[in-house]
Structure 1
């Protein structure tokens, strides 16, 4: 397979250079904030790494029914790869690396950043009770705000109940408590000690932080996350249905089911959506370079002004019988030494991970959400496994860095999760009227 064009490689180099900026801005508490990302080799990853990376993305696009993907891989000791593969829709215009997209559950990380920023500033307490800040949830009297961030509130998820409404009425503006109520109405599991993937919890946390601060969730993310890190293309949009940004946008889609599978040839465009469908759980938008920069800072917990309480001190198993290297807490999945998130929102599936010690970072978005997060998560981990083997560039020394899984393992998972694409049944011709 041919590698990407020189135009796209120049975009990759620009993306790598952008990550190397020293970021200075206003930090929580009006103190001076600066963040220096890990030193990054200014150049492309070697071809023996680039070829399997591109092959992995192409295979995942086919498996997910996506026409396009934007990906960033930063290996500080070796080089980088920032690329846009595919088109806006089948047979459509090529996509580019500067396009904005919805980052789905990576938003949870930002919501927890705001929470810990308010804790560090003395605005809220870690163990504050949820009903102190959110009305209508008196049955959560023993649940704390940190439970909401950690995913240990015991609450269920609204996703499966409201998914059809998201797809059929993307312009609908949701109230956060209304949206959360579908998850809150499900059977609870014991709080504090068991992780449960709950969008409702992060919606409630966003409401609580708005109430505690007197600021909107969008303004809070700007103050505690995107402002300090100078993420100019990252935000939590307002409630009005709109594309992810006013600039270049990656179009988002889903596939209609047909007998035997999905109609992959005619994806349904859902680029224009109300961010209220995700709010502080999955409503934020970004670009691939911003996302990579954010993940490097996030993995290091660079936004914290205090070291205690430790956000990642007490991780839990991601699910029953999960491998020991896959844990979750603080709004993040801990995958070996990497910190990150993955998920889907109507039109997009996104995953992003970074290693806090080396700055090794992987971020990827697919422009179709039909497969949920299964394919994009496996893809991010496959890319990480491939890139972790990158040799050191001239004058560099590769760190002792490895992952507890192989690329082949997740390549096989992607193949197993592939959506069946079938042609919709042909319409029967209308009968000619007699006479």
Structure 2
């Protein structure tokens, strides 16, 4: 039983702490997100101009025809918008379209794993071999290591790069993908260091299915989306389809033999089977759900108080800033917690500050190029939003971020695969 959920939410509301509202209506949910209430106002015009400039630059750099962005600044206001078009010359992008959630899915898979550990169904220090068969010699990898990214396992998608886009109707068997992942060279010894790998989430998904006898799709619905009132978020079945009947169309530019990219004629990869991304990147969502989910992830709303999910973050790599760490199926960037990444057709970045409630979520509709672009863009948006002026009767927090918007813009432009117009 998980009776703490209902009682914890009641305690929060009873104490007078308001759950933030990211849309015009309150989602029907059983879990409150303990962050400052969102002021009901639009962001200042100057702030929106800067935010829009950041997104359009990233669109140009990645060859994306469209994007959807949501920025929620509790003390200042909100900006939610669709930008660009559905493919070159397509219809205008609106903010209500659905898209693939990319690596945010992995955080949801870990939500389920940590929740099962909280109710005693599994132990985080269980070897993966306790719950996933046919993994001989992997007794030194624990369930906790999967979400902390310290298993040392390689990535299955890096072996199959581009294959899923060329086989859009194929339903992938998780065991087959697992074979590609574990056959890749180990990146390090278990527990030694962080190394991002979608194989971790794949195994975590298989483990929670074995432990409960339920599908991961049902587990995410029961333990993540329904408690948070995320009506536009789900992990689809294996049948090839667009993210929904009302979806942001997804594309992927191809690299030419001369090293250039097909920026004007990208491959349409909107219709695919979610089974390739699965537990790592198969979920679909919309921008309002993504923002609310990220706030809940950052605030630890789905887990009991005192859980240690983010208590021991590890450096992402020796080349990254010290403020960029990882733990529990998520990344921490300064005071922000969230996820980012790319899946066929989409780049997604979404981060929230658990103290101030500031949240930035964005999707670009071209998955080619440097996958850190989604993080750089989210962090650029956060740097701009953090300086948004306080609305009437509100007070802006004093805390800042350890980077500037220009630093993040430089990363995006410096790794552009398509021409970026001079500002």
Asked whether the two chains share a fold, i.e. TM above 0.5, the reply is yes
Say which of 361, 364, 381 aligns to 2:362: 364
What is the distance in 2 between the residues matched to 1:24 and 1:227? Answer: 7
Say which of 309, 321, 324 aligns to 1:323: 321
| 1:72-102 residue CA offsets vs partner (Å, 9 max, x unmatched) | 0111000011010000011110011110000
1:177 CA displacement: 2.2
Say which of 21, 25, 28 aligns to 2:26: 21
What is the distance in 2 between the residues matched to 1:22 and 1:253? Answer: 31
1:180 CA displacement: 2.4
- Tell whether 2:385 aligns with 1:387: yes
| 1:104-141 residue CA offsets vs partner (Å, 9 max, x unmatched) | 00111101100011111111111111011111211211
Is the Cα–Cα contact under 8 Å of residues 350 and 373 in structure 1 kept in the other structure?
Answer: no
| Aligned partner of residue 227 in structure 1, secondary structure | helix
Alignment of structure 1 residues 22-421 onto 2, 5 Å: 23-25=28-30, 33-35=31-33, 38-188=36-186, 189-246=188-245, 248-258=246-256, 259-308=258-307, 310-420=308-418
Is the Cα–Cα contact under 8 Å of residues 172 and 275 in structure 2 kept in the other structure?
Answer: yes
Is the Cα–Cα contact under 8 Å of residues 199 and 281 in structure 1 kept in the other structure?
Answer: yes
The equivalent of 1:431 in structure 2 is: none
4+ runs of 1 displaced by more than 6 Å?
A: none
What is the distance in 2 between the residues matched to 1:215 and 1:136? Answer: 20
1:187 CA displacement: 2.0
Q: TM-score, normalised by structure 2?
A: 0.91
| 1:195-217 residue CA offsets vs partner (Å, 9 max, x unmatched) | 01111111001000000011000
| Aligned partner of residue 312 in structure 1, secondary structure | coil
Is the Cα–Cα contact under 8 Å of residues 346 and 366 in structure 2 kept in the other structure?
Answer: yes
What is the distance in 2 between the residues matched to 1:288 and 1:340? Answer: 14
1:164 CA displacement: 2.2
List gaps (5 residues or longer) in structure 2: 1-19
Is the Cα–Cα contact under 8 Å of residues 269 and 345 in structure 2 kept in the other structure?
Answer: yes
What is the distance in 1 between the residues matched to 2:24 and 2:323? Answer: 28
| 1:10-66 residue CA offsets vs partner (Å, 9 max, x unmatched) | xxxxx96527737533xxxxxxx4446531111111122111111111111000000
The equivalent of 1:5 in structure 2 is: none
List gaps (5 residues or longer) in structure 1: 1-14, 26-32, 423-435
| 1:297-352 residue CA offsets vs partner (Å, 9 max, x unmatched) | 110000113523x1011110001242221110100110001000100000000010
Q: Which of these two proteins has the greater Rg computed from alpha carbons? A: 1
What is the distance in 1 between the residues matched to 2:146 and 2:254? Answer: 34
What is the distance in 1 between the residues matched to 2:250 and 2:209? Answer: 29
| Aligned partner of residue 340 in structure 1, secondary structure | strand
Q: TM-score, normalised by structure 1?
A: 0.89
The equivalent of 1:29 in structure 2 is: none
Q: Number of residue pairs matched?
A: 399
| Aligned partner of residue 138 in structure 1, secondary structure | coil
| Aligned partner of residue 146 in structure 2, secondary structure | helix
Identify the range of structure 1 (392-401 vs 208-217) with the bigger mean alpha-carbon deviation: 392-401
Is the Cα–Cα contact under 8 Å of residues 340 and 375 in structure 2 kept in the other structure?
Answer: yes
CA RMSD of aligned residues (A): 1.7
